[in-house]
Copies of this chain bind each other. A is one copy, B any other.
Amino acid sequence: MKLVPLGDRVVLKQLVAEETTKSGIVLPGQTKEKPQQAEIIAVGPGGVIDGKEVEMHVEPGQKVIYSKYAGTDVEVDEETYIIVKQSDILAIVE
C-alpha cells in the first residue's frame, strides 16, 4: 500500500532519534515535546488550497524538522507515518 497525499500535505517517516552523548552513550528518546526530525516519503501536488495557490518546495528523501504538535499519525502496513501540511515543515536538515 502507498500513501498519496492530497493538496499541500506531505507524508513523513520519523527518524529514530538516536540521541548519543559526546562520550558515545546512546540514550533513548525521552521527550515527546521536542520537534521531530523526519524523512519525506511523499509530497502532495500543491495547487489551490483554501483559496490560495500553494507551491511545493520540498521533495521525497529530504530530512526535515517539523513543528511539534503538527500532523496526523497514520498506520499503514504496520508502519507509522505522519501526514503534515508543508507549512508545518520548519527547515530542511542538510
Interface residues of A in 40-77 (CB under 8 A from B): 42, 44, 47-55, 57-58, 65, 67-68, 72-76
Contact of A93 among B2, B54, B65, B93 (CB under 8 A): B2
Count of A interface residues, CB-CB < 8 Å: 43
Minimal Cβ-Cβ distance residue in B for A5: B91
Q: Is the CB of A1 within 8 A of B48?
A: no
Bound complex: CA A76 to CA B68 (Å): 15
Q: Is the CB of A9 within 8 A of B50?
A: no
Known: A34-B74, A74-B90. 12 other contacts (CB 8 A): A1-B94, A2-B94, A4-B94, A5-B91, A6-B57, A7-B87, A9-B91, A35-B73, A35-B74, A48-B52, A48-B54, A51-B52
Query: Residues on A close to B: CB < 8 A?
Result: 1-7, 9, 11, 22, 34-35, 42, 44, 47-55, 57-58, 65, 67-68, 72-76, 78, 83, 86-87, 89-94
